Amino acid sequence: MSDIRVKICGLTRVDDVIAVAEAGAAYAGFVFFAKSPRAVSVAQARVLAVEAPVGLAKVALVVDAEDAFLDEITAAVPLDMLQLHGHESPERVAEIKRRYGLPVMKAVGISDASDVDQLDIYSKVADQLLVDAKPPKDAVLPGGNGLTFDWRLISARRWPVPWMLAGGLTPETVATAIAVTGVRQVDVSSGVESAPGVKEADLIRAFLTAAKSGRGAVPRL
């Protein structure tokens, strides 16, 4: 199970970025969505990205971002990937890939079997897929709501690009999620926090341990 790759999203502090790298995570996510309690400015994200240890992939999460904003982010922040977490069409995903020359991960929200077909569509244009829990209709945030979905919906599904599982994962549930879905990459945000945007090093280590060992871990806080 040690080949499981972990993304910690919603990072807002340099200490947390370093803790994520030291714990063995593969990706660090920065949220560029003003309504999120984990949102960072372009200037803040630049500091976080510059201070990130070598080898940690830096991912910018954006929601229906226009070119002007993406131009600003990519010009200022050294990034390795763009994560599109809004209602971007397949055509928009392809356009962003061409314009910025960065790998693009497209998030797709799942609540029932009818949503799963969207993954097939986006797998034709995105470099990676993020399979997340679909937010409630009245939700302010497109992700990071701490919600899960029925993992059995994707347990027998595979796509021609790498994919990542998100949605309410915690140190106690991630091993089960991996076992049910067969996923090799997982994403967590609220599940390793003491408050929105405030990550806890103990929880980060516990999550990585559980994901990579296949066994649940209860951290000592």
Extents of the domains making up the chain: 5-213
Tell the burial category of 164 from Cβ atoms under 10 Å away from its Cβ (0-12, 13-18, 19+): buried
What pLDDT, on the 0 to 100 scale, is given for residue 216?
Answer: 46
What pLDDT, on the 0 to 100 scale, is given for residue 221?
Answer: 34
What pLDDT, on the 0 to 100 scale, is given for residue 218?
Answer: 40
Judge whether 106 and 118 are in contact, CB under 8 Å: no
3-state secondary structure of 63: coil
What pLDDT, on the 0 to 100 scale, is given for residue 136?
Answer: 56
CATH classification (class only), 5-213: alpha beta
What pLDDT, on the 0 to 100 scale, is given for residue 146?
Answer: 59
What pLDDT, on the 0 to 100 scale, is given for residue 206?
Answer: 97
pLDDT digits (tens, 9 = 90+) for 54-92: 999 999 999 999 999 999 999 999 999 999 999 999 999
Q: In 3D, which of 205, 212, 140 has the Cα closest to residue 183?
A: 212
Q: Using CA atoms of 83, 149, 200, 197 in order, give the dihedral in degrees to the nearest 10.
A: 50
What pLDDT, on the 0 to 100 scale, is given for residue 69?
Answer: 98
Return d(Cα 190, Cα 170) in angstroms, integer: 8
Total-model pTM: 0.90
Q: What's the alpha-carbon Rg for the chain, to the nearest Å?
A: 16
pLDDT digits (tens, 9 = 90+) for 92-101: 999 999 999 9
What pLDDT, on the 0 to 100 scale, is given for residue 141?
Answer: 54
Per-residue pLDDT of the chain (221 residues; tens, 9 = 90+): 469 999 999 999 999 999 999 999 999 999 999 999 999 999 999 999 999 999 999 999 999 999 999 999 999 999 999 999 999 999 999 999 999 999 999 999 998 999 999 999 999 999 999 999 887 555 555 545 457 889 999 997 899 999 999 998 999 999 999 999 999 999 999 999 999 889 999 999 999 999 998 654 443 33
Return d(Cα 87, Cα 74) in angstroms, integer: 20
What pLDDT, on the 0 to 100 scale, is given for residue 2?
Answer: 63
Question: 96-99 — which CB contacts under 8 Å span 24+ positions?
Answer: 96/70, 97/125, 97/126, 97/127, 99/67, 99/70
The number of C-alpha atoms within 13 Å of 68 and in the hemisphere containing its C-beta is 0
Give rounded-to-5 percent helix, strand, coil for the chain. Answer: 35, 20, 45
Tell the burial category of 48 from Cβ atoms under 10 Å away from its Cβ (0-12, 13-18, 19+): buried
Q: How many other CB atoms are there within 10 angstroms of residue 220's CB atom?
A: 6
Active site residues: 9, 132
Q: In 3D, which of 119, 117, 134 has the Cα closest to residue 106?
A: 119
Return d(Cα 62, Cα 181) in angstroms, integer: 26
What pLDDT, on the 0 to 100 scale, is given for residue 215?
Answer: 54
What amino acid occupies position 61? L
